[in-house]
Amino acid sequence: MTSLLQTTSLVHLNLSSTKEGRYRNRLQAKGIPSIVNLLSRSPTLQILNLSGTMLKSEGARVLCAGLVKIEHKTLLSLDISDNEITHTAAQSIHDLLIDSHLLRLDLSHNKIGLSGLEKLNPALYFSRCKLNYLNLAECSLTYQGFVKIMDAVKFNYQIQTLVVDGNRAGPGGSFSLVQAMMA
């Protein structure tokens, strides 16, 4: 990590961990301050992949708070999928969406659920939120979650790709998706 801290031309950092169902890189919450320090010194970094690094909700909160504090807003893509993140980190993710230039966010395979989506969803209504890709696959969303996310997508024409497969929306959730796409 020390040699990475000395670079100023880093564009893509992939510290993802899952391979064949095993966690190789257990960054966890305690490793996030080093990542935030690296990001604050890397004005060219655009893509950060921390998928499967066991961040959990605490790590996601620390990461998002750190990213909000960084002056240069060059990060365009953030993958924090498969990190055991729950609804407790959703407010921090919301704050990041409001105060960043993120175009892509992958939250798949985390248990965000309806309560997390309710905290995250208002960010999608703001014109400052520039997301054009949002992955919420297997995030424990239900029919109510689909209704909320689709209502936000109606107002945010920036979102071009919304991934919601693997959730328990039931037939009503699929219907609300189709209705929103036709509106």
| pLDDT tens-digit series, residues 132-159 | 999 999 999 988 888 888 888 877 778 8
DSSP state of 139: S
User: What amino acid is encoded at 145 in this protein?
Assistant: G
End-to-end CA distance of the chain: 49
- Find the helix or strand (DSSP H, E) in which 114 lies: helix 113-125
Map out the domains of the chain as residue ranges. 2-182
Backbone angles phi, psi at 144, to 5 degrees: -60, -35
- List the pLDDT tens digit at each of the 183 positions of the chain: 555 555 668 899 998 986 665 556 778 889 899 999 988 988 999 999 999 999 999 999 999 999 999 988 899 999 999 999 999 999 999 999 999 999 999 999 999 999 999 999 999 887 678 899 999 999 999 888 888 888 888 777 788 899 989 988 776 666 666 665 565
CATH architecture of 2-182: Alpha-Beta Horseshoe (3.80)
Contacts of 109 by beta carbon, 8 Å cutoff, 6+ apart: 81, 82, 137, 138, 139
Question: Which residue's structure tokens are 């009503």?
Answer: 172
Nearest to residue 141, comparing CAs of 158, 123, 118, 175?
118
Instruction: Determine the Cα–Cα distance for residues 123 and 48; give it in Å rounded to an integer.
Output: 21
Dihedral over alpha carbons 183, 114, 50, 164 (to 10 degrees): -40
CB 169 within 8 A of CB 141: yes
